[in-house]
Every structure is written in C-alpha cells, then in structure tokens.
Structure 1
C-alpha cells in the first residue's frame, strides 16, 4: 500500500471515551490549548521516528504490533492496517490519508515510539557515540558498519515510502541531507528513552502549537 501514488480516505476507528482509555495514555500530561487535529509537523515527525526505528531494527514492523498489545493499546492501535492508516497521515507519504488524528491516537503512537526506543537504547547510544568519536577524528562516520547499515536502510525506507514529487522530499534527497535527517532522528529517539520518554515526546509534538 505504501507504494501507491494516490490519496485515500478510510473511515477512522471510533476512539474510546477517556474513562476507558488505556492506562499507558492516562499517564501522559494533559496539555491545554492543543489543536483538535494533530498538526502537520507532528504527523510527519511521528512517522519519521517510526521509520528510523524500522531502520534500526529489522523486526520493528512486527514489534510495533506486539508492543502495542503488551501496552494494552489495542483499542487505539487495533491492527497493522490501523497503524498504517495513522502513519499515512504524514503528508510526505506516497499514499496519504486525509483523516485527522485523535488525541488518543497521537498519544498511543508517542507511547509506542518511546517504548520501542527504550528497547533499542544500546544501538541508539552506540550510533551516536561512534559518530561523535569519528567526527572528532575527522573520519567519515559511514566507515562504521552499524551506522552505514542504519543509514542505508533508512534511505531505502524513505525512498520507497515518500512521494518523490513533494518539494520537501526532493530537498531531503539532495547531498547528505537524508543521512543528516536519519542521524537527527536517532538523537530524538534517545530523547524518547527513559522513564519520562513518552511524556517528553508527547509534549514536544506541540511546541509552538500550544
């Protein structure tokens, strides 16, 4: 479905009332004044973070589903199709969904990303530490096998799933911009780890919006 060049509209899944929300979502802080629909920038950012996780971990697509079940998020992230629909609200995608994201859906994705990032803390830290060391030595960070593997997978995922006709996608494909984006996303995934990782990510999505 990712490879289609079209826009689609799928009826959104009804969201549970606040009283029946998963416990993992109730732990997130309430933000006053946030927009009813998830901002374009936030939708794009969430999908790219998931793309980075998939590039870091070959088993990430399957992990997204079983971690969702483990966290009790099935009422929001029902199945693979539902996760795909939410990710396809990223306006850079080849196939985009024009449905708004509910607050519960945004929260569920933020909690999911934080949990997946925590499980990948070791390779995330390794990539960032090795990159820093190589840059200090004046060496190419692509000389490291783990970094090169991650960057190549991220590029492959990005090119296969994003619309090559979008101006933003064209800009990112120039020079080493895509590699820099991929490494920046790893830095942001580190920000998502730790006890308060989901809360930090959730609040950061609305910086400048609240």
Structure 2
C-alpha cells in the first residue's frame, strides 16, 4: 500500500481537479466495484476521517467543474492529498490490470478487447456523471479523439503505482500544461 497523505498544503488548480476526477473515474471503469473498493482502501490508508462513507467521498469528488453536479468552493488541500493517496493506492491494487493494458507482449486482439471494454465502461461513467453540455466532456466521449486520452489516463495510473507514486501524481496534477 502507499503512504497516508502528508500535510504539504497542495492547492490544485481547476485542471488538476479535473485530472484527479478523471483518474478516479478510470479506476471505477477498471474495477467493477470501484466505489466500494475506494472506500475500503481509504479505510486501509487511515482516511476514515476524510471519507467515512460513500457520500463523503462523492462530495470530495464533486469539485470537478466537468461534473453534472459540482461544488463551487475550492478543494481543500487535505482532501486533495487524501484523494491523491487514494488514487495511488488504487493504482497499486489495479497494477496487474494496468500492466496488461499497457503491455506490448499481450496478444493484440486481447489487448484491443480490453481497451474496448475500458472505453465502454469509462464512456458510460462519463455520460452518467459528467455535464454533457461541456466541450471537454464531449471530447472525452468522441470515439475519434478519446483513445489517446484513455491511454494517457491508464499510463498515468501505471506510473503512480508503487513507491513515490504520490509525489509523481502530485507533480502531474500541479503541472499547468494541458
């Protein structure tokens, strides 16, 4: 497992919050019981105070401006660090699946089937939870342009798994480039 979050005072930009929420959605798309697994993992990390139940976890995730229902206030730095630790712990847990998706040694047909299943699940979650009037959300749903984004999300999860993942994810979320 990864470490519990440190109190470094991270303030995520709007883009950072969007990226974090998309990573959490990707985790849910990869794990059929993603919501429950996130809650269980948060308790394993000692984050019961931050996420005592699914509703509190959902409230923290609703700071993304791409959501249908969004919270206008800024994501608290403690909540941001807790979500970062949660994403890294979930990436550790899902690493075998991430490795299969990213591996060039797997049979091409099997890899394509896995990617198609991920695209389908992630698309369903985006349609269900995101504001479909936003251009960024429509681009995420566009089959012609979403493959690189999905690959980037899975690659990011693969990179933040393991030791030092929290620092790598924090750097990725704080990076201002699109």
* TM-score scaled by length of structure 1: 0.75
Q: 1:90 and 2:41 equivalent? A: no
Deviations 1:149-201 (A, max 9, x none): 11111111111111111122223333422233222100000111011111211
Which runs of structure 2 are paired with 1:19-30 in the superposition (5 Å)? 24-26=4-6, 30=8
Contact 2:85 2:166 in 1 (8 A): yes
Whether the 8 Å contact between 1:77 and 1:105 is mirrored in structure 2 is no
The residue aligned with 1:119 is: 93
Q: Structure 1, unaligned stretches of length 5 or more?
A: 1-22, 135-140
Residue 207 of structure 1 and its aligned partner are, at CA, apart by 2.1
Aligned residues: 175
| Corresponding residue for residue 151 of structure 1 | 119
Asked which structure has the greater CA Rg, the reply is: 1
Any conservation in 2 of the 1:25–1:111 contact (CA below 8 Å)? Answer: yes
Matched, 1:168 2:136: yes
- Cα deviations by residue, 1:44-85 (Å, 9 ceiling, x for unpaired): 011100100111110111011111111101112232111111
1:203 to 143, 164, 171: 171
Structure 2: gaps (5+ residues): none
Q: Structure 2-normalised TM-score? A: 0.88
SS at match of 2:70: strand
Compare the two structures and name the one with the higher helix fraction: 2
Correspondence for 1:73: 47
Q: Is the 8 A contact 2:38 2:86 kept in 1?
A: yes
| Cα distance in structure 2, aligned partners of 1:129 and 1:166 | 33
In 2, Cα distance between equivalents of 1:185 and 1:41: 14
Residue 130 to residue 55, structure 1, CA distance change in 2 (3 Å): farther
